Chain A
Amino acid sequence: MDLRIAHLYPDLMNIYGDRGNVIALAQRAKWRGIEVDVRPYSIGEWADPEWPDIWFFGGGQDQGQDIVGADLAGTNGVALRKSVEGGAAIFSVCGGYQLLGHAYVPETGPSIPGVGILDVTTRAGKRRFVGNLLVDSPDGQLVGFENHSGRTYLGSAAKPLGTVIAGNGNNGEDKTEGAVQGRVIGCYLHGSCLPKNPWLADRLLAWALDRRQKPAKLDPLDDADEAAARIQASEVARTRT
């Protein structure tokens, strides 16, 4: 078996250690004997949108986000939509999550259109949400660190990834965090997210492998270290945020 991971704009959209998500996906596949190929896809470098099984799209600085937004407004945005229609999965965090939605609406000036793969819209907020973020979902808890001023609101086609226990999540109002729509996930969890939340990493891996080589069955791994890290971080989120 083999797995193809595309890392979207790693030069522009990688702050807050988001590349740890790619490391987690790759290692958890390799530990199961799956061959892994990771390719960077940056501006003007979109070799083959048919190639990836899974895309990772992290957060960036404002400067990076502007350039990336402009790039995705062209043929590359079309290619990304086509790739998802063809069964590829996406995991996105923070700025990447926002850019996959319909639009980002700044305080002043025209709204910046997104790719529209996720039925979410983000508006600029005044106060920045910075702190540990603990989320509950039917499949398990998620823990990470949020750092964003955008407020994201979900439309009817997107389901929240989970319910906020500690922190702010999507918008600090409705207790939701993240969005899931088909095989596309967006969230505000840095940390990195996937190493400490291995059940989500494995969910994404299963989707990714399923695209070309069904049925994808993942052998269980010893996740005691991951669980210990999640417990320690959850404790911090509950008591010190």
Chain B
Amino acid sequence: MPDALALIANAAGKLTREGLRATGRGATALPGLVALTLDPNFIGALAAELEYGVACVSGTNGKTTTARMLADISRTAGWNPIHNRSGSNLDRGVAAALLAHTSWSGEPRGNFGLFEIDEASLPSAVGRLQPRVVVVTNLFRDQMDRYFELDTLAKKIGDALAALPATTTLVLNADDPLVANLAVRRDAKTIFFGVDDPDLGGVVPQAISDATRCPRCKSPLKYARVVLAHVGDWSCPSCGLSRPPRDVSATKILLGPDGSEISLAGTVGSIFETIRVPIPGLYNAYNALAALAAARALDLGLAEAIRALATFRPAFGRLETIEHKGRTLRLVLVKNPAGFNAAIGALLETGRTPRLLAALSDRDADGRDVSWIWDADFEALAPSVEHAVITGLRGRDMALRFKYAGLAKERMEVVDGWSAAIERATTLASEGGEVVVLATYTAMQALRAVLARAGAVVPFWED
């Protein structure tokens, strides 16, 4: 039973939640903020009541998708996860999810806490939640007006993980040197995942690489294979640090327009079956590997995991598709260079010449600094673009980025206003055709709100 203060905080949060929902608004953060104001220990107190404990999923890209995959896997195994599904991933989002699934008397209506945690909040969150499993997908540069420098962030996360008890299992991306090195400080159990398909990736780190230096001795790293940015088969010729052995390893990944097929090897057992992941893109194959490794850390069965992944549906803006006026809109959330490059890689792999709606905003949740678009590889995208409609609070910056990437003037136009931009973009495709929507977080929210009013999708917090 949670203590009296936690119960009061729980009740106050629940009242806030009911008030918000009665007025038809999403309640993904504010109720949590109210509860945390009353009891800073709130999330720890409620999480301690959960029978199967807590798993935290963090990292720059892929945390929402990985957490949702893991939620599906745990549900298939008969667990009842409490999950901050809508991607509200600061402390308050965790608190809001917990109080929404806890009775007025403090009884949890669930037995497993599954929390996507913002990477900057991870150090404080793991201290409070004392999770059984912590997953870190990757660390790329992202919204540096909030997170500042990647090395500093990695050090903070490493210190927080080192302070956890030995009962916590770390699930880490072996192919990302910054992430793999998070395990170096401790002797607790670690499960590494990675990609060992020799046909994937080049040999030169991409321009946006953030970790071309050894995380231990700072000498330049050598890459036998680069899969994405600084993620790949890395080693340090100077101090000998190298990619750790993979416990969950993809020996072959077949990338298709609607999904991937992964062949597994490693200590997960001898697998003859391929794993189907029904959302496209190499980065989603990585997310599936992270979810499988986390399932193993939680002693969940592989058969359930494979079954759950086969029917997975993507989250808000993660390549989900929605129908509007007879056209398919494919929504792609973009928020940092690595995520952008991965997303356009997935689009162009399949030979598309996209008709685009590109929306750039600069509110807090988008990152107030739009500089990141200059690190993203628009030069790879521009030659394939059939036509681009551009909008958002900083749409003019986006237009400039396309211009300097070589997109011809007659192939792009700026349309102010979310509604007008959607309507114009919809006309780019013929009946039955596809429009790709690339948008930052709040721009995507705004576009979805317009589409919801037109009857196209449900609001994301009801997800």
- Which residues from chain A sit less than 8 Å from chain B, CB to CB? 10-12, 14-20, 23-24, 27, 61-64, 67, 128, 130-132, 145, 147, 190-192, 195-196, 225-226, 228-229, 231-233, 236
Chain B's closest residue to A149 (CB) is B148
A19 touches B149 (CB 8 A): no
The answer to whether B355 has its CB under 8 Å from any CB of chain A is no
Q: How far is the CB of B448 from chain A (nearest CB, A)?
A: 23
B397 touches A147 (CB 8 A): no
The answer to whether B362 has its CB under 8 Å from any CB of chain A is yes
B236-285 contacts to A (CB < 8 Å): none
Q: Which residues in B have their C-beta under 8 angstroms from that of A191?
A: 370-371
Q: Given A132-B368, A229-B400: A11 and B144 within 8 A (CB)?
A: no
Contact flags B67-110 to A (C-beta < 8 A → 1, else 0): 00000000000000000000000000000000000000000000
Q: Which residues in B have their C-beta under 8 angstroms from that of A196?
A: 397, 400
A11 touches B209 (CB 8 A): yes
Chain B's closest residue to A193 (CB) is B371
4 additional A-B residue pairs with CB within 8 Å, beyond A14-B375, A131-B145, A229-B397: A15-B144, A192-B374, A225-B396, A232-B393
Q: Which residues in A have their C-beta under 8 angstroms from that of B320?
A: none
Q: Which residues in B have their C-beta under 8 angstroms from that of A195?
A: 374, 400-401, 404
B137-196 contacts to A (CB < 8 Å): 141, 144-145, 148-152
Q: How far is the CB of B38 from chain A (nearest CB, A)?
A: 30
A16 touches B369 (CB 8 A): yes
Q: Which residues in A have their C-beta under 8 angstroms from that of B374?
A: 17-20, 23, 192, 195
B397 touches A233 (CB 8 A): yes
The answer to whether B66 has its CB under 8 Å from any CB of chain A is no
13 contacts between A and B (CB under 8 A): A11-B209, A18-B374, A19-B375, A20-B404, A23-B374, A132-B368, A147-B369, A196-B400, A225-B399, A225-B403, A226-B400, A233-B394, A233-B396
C-alpha gap A147/B337 in the complex (Å): 18
Q: Which residues in A have their C-beta under 8 angstroms from that of B150?
A: 61
- Which residues from chain B sit less than 8 Å from chain A, CB to CB? 141, 144-145, 148-152, 205, 207, 209, 212-213, 218, 220, 337, 362, 368-375, 393-397, 399-401, 403-406, 414
Q: Which residues in B have their C-beta under 8 angstroms from that of A132?
A: 368
A145 touches B145 (CB 8 A): yes
Which residue of A62, A130, A231 contacts B145 across the interface (Cβ within 8 Å)? Answer: A130
The 7 closest A-B pairs by CB, nearest first: A20-B374, A17-B371, A17-B374, A229-B396, A61-B149, A232-B396, A145-B369
Q: Which residues in A have their C-beta under 8 angstroms from that of B372?
A: 16-17
Q: Given A17-B371, A61-B150, A236-B393: A225 and B400 within 8 A (CB)?
A: yes
Q: How far is the CB of A64 from chain B (nearest CB, A)?
A: 8
A67 touches B144 (CB 8 A): no
Q: Which residues in B have their C-beta under 8 angstroms from that of A12?
A: 213
Q: Which residues in B have their C-beta under 8 angstroms from that of A27?
A: 404, 406
C-alpha gap A191/B209 in the complex (Å): 19
Q: Given A19-B374, A145-B369, A192-B374: A10 and B400 within 8 A (CB)?
A: no
B151 touches A192 (CB 8 A): no
Q: Which residues in A have their C-beta under 8 angstroms from that of B368?
A: 130-132, 145
A20 touches B148 (CB 8 A): no
Q: Which residues in B have their C-beta under 8 angstroms from that of A24?
A: 404
Chain A's closest residue to B146 (CB) is A130
Q: How far is the CB of B152 from chain A (nearest CB, A)?
A: 7
C-alpha gap A73/B68 in the complex (Å): 50
A17 touches B373 (CB 8 A): yes
C-alpha gap A108/B369 in the complex (Å): 30
Chain B's closest residue to A65 (CB) is B149
C-alpha gap A12/B403 in the complex (Å): 27
Q: How far is the CB of A115 from chain B (nearest CB, A)?
A: 21
B396 touches A10 (CB 8 A): no
Q: Which residues in B have their C-beta under 8 angstroms from that of A190?
A: 369, 371
C-alpha gap A228/B398 in the complex (Å): 11
Q: Which residues in A have their C-beta under 8 angstroms from that of B396?
A: 225, 228-229, 231-233
A62 touches B397 (CB 8 A): no
